[in-house]
Amino acid sequence: MPAINGNRFVVVGGASLLGSNIGRRLLDAGAGEVILMDNLALGSASAVEDLVTDERCTFLRGDMLRMNELHDPFEGASGVFNVAGFLGGPMLANPWMGLDVNVRGIQNVLEVARVRGVGKVVFSSSIGVYGRIGDDPCTENAPFDWNGLGPALALYSGSKIVGEGLCQLYHRQHGLAYAALRYSNLYGENQHKRAIDATRIVNAWERIRAGQSPVIEGDGTNVTDFVYIGDVARANLMAMEADASGAYNIASGRDTSFNELVAALLKACGSELTPEYRADDAKVANPVVTRLGISVEKAKAELGWSPQVDIEEGMRRLVAWLDAERAKGRA
């Protein structure tokens, strides 16, 4: 599989939360050339402004839905990271475009990767492929249960299943190596406000810095799995170099309630405020669960990856970045 050191890589969706962090990791790992490609519909040029000061790194404005724009950057690339995609909130706002990006987009990436002889594609998938997660440990063999999912989340989850199916198809028919990484909830530096749970983190930080109590929806016992963006970027590089193809859960493996999350955020902010509890039935919401149990054993065994940053340290790093962005007038 492609080694990072000295080789050329393309990050599609390179100006995003994850794309920019992958780009930084690639440069730190000695990549010979890094092309960050993004149409800036959801990404931000400010996320990569420090990266492009490195002569090995280039930002290219381009759209994965226009296949012709992929050929030149993919020429000579050892690997491609496909990060671009619509999340649940944007999918609700524009389902037509969301399905185009999440399905036709990865299809275009795979086809051009095949034509240009790319060694491997790492596809950003999601634990959304499981739908509602039950009481059993959630391994990569868990089925998709979409009963009770709202339409936006059902469409988003279904689009990721189709994306993974296309990766399998190109692997079996054309020998294109791939890894589909099923992320839980990403957070960290270059945080955006498009993911449902990540938006709540940023909103809570904004209220705390304004001297207002952070808001917790419901009673705060609902759990999710928050995984630090640096750990996820590291997983992408390890998946690229691993001599393995398939799907992998990339998560913290720890159920974190919103009460615990807000407590960690308040501590990181040095605040003694107490949360305010309320409900907003009009918002897009993930299913309410009190247990997830996402297993990362397959990623440990086949990729050699495991999470390193816990929620307390991750919140400290996120708050430091948000505070710095506010000081620059960006947050």
Q: What single-letter DSSP state applies at residue 288?
A: P
Integer Cα distance of 160 and 262 in angstroms? 29
pLDDT at residue number 280: 62
- State the pLDDT confidence band at 120, using cuts at 50, 70 and 90: very high
Within a domain: 207: no
Q: What percent of the chain has pLDDT over 90?
A: 74
To 10 degrees, what angle do helices 311-327 and 258-269 make?
Answer: 50
Q: Inform me whether the pLDDT recorded for 196 exceeds 70.
A: no
pLDDT at residue number 282: 54
pLDDT at residue number 291: 75
The three-class DSSP label of residue 278 is: strand
Once rounded to an integer, what is the mean pLDDT over residues 105-124? 98
Mean pLDDT rounded to a whole number for the chain: 91
Q: What single-letter DSSP state applies at residue 54?
A: S
Once rounded to an integer, what is the mean pLDDT over residues 63-88? 96
Q: Which domain holds residue 44?
A: 8-186+226-251+293-308
Closest CA to 236 of 26, 1, 16, 7: 26
Q: Inform me whether the pLDDT recorded for 219 exceeds 90.
A: no
Q: Beta partners for 223? A: 257
Q: What DSSP string describes 172-234?
A: HHH--EEEEEEE-EEESTT--S-SHHHHHHHHHHHHHHTT-PPEEETTS--EE-EEEHHHHHH
Within a domain: 302: yes
- State the pLDDT confidence band at 197, using cuts at 50, 70 and 90: low
- State the pLDDT confidence band at 85, using cuts at 50, 70 and 90: very high
Within a domain: 76: yes
Q: Which two tokens stand for residue 294?
A: 């996402």
pLDDT at residue number 329: 77
Pick from 91-95, 188-192, 308-312 the range whose average pLDDT is largest: 308-312
Q: What is the CATH number of the domain that holds 71?
A: 3.40.50.720
Integer Cα distance of 316 and 294 in angstroms? 24
Q: Inform me whether the pLDDT recorded for 229 exceeds 70.
A: yes
CA distances to 1, 199, 248 from 128, in Å: 27, 17, 13
Within a domain: 1: no
pLDDT at residue number 59: 97
- State the pLDDT confidence band at 78, using cuts at 50, 70 and 90: very high
Once rounded to an integer, what is the mean pLDDT over residues 239-265? 95
Q: Indicate the number of domains in the chain.
A: 1
pLDDT at residue number 104: 97
Integer Cα distance of 195 and 60 in angstroms? 24
Task: Based on the residue annotation, tell me whether 156 is a catalytic residue of this protein.
Answer: yes
156, 170, 178, 183: the active-site residue: 156
Integer Cα distance of 157 and 22 in angstroms? 23
Within a domain: 37: yes
Within a domain: 43: yes
Within a domain: 265: no
- Pairing mode of beta strands 223-224, 256-257: antiparallel
Give pLDDT tens digits for 4-54. 999 999 999 999 999 999 999 999 999 999 999 999 988 888 889 999 999
pTM of the entire predicted model = 0.92
The more confidently predicted of residues 196 and 279 is: 279
Within a domain: 115: yes
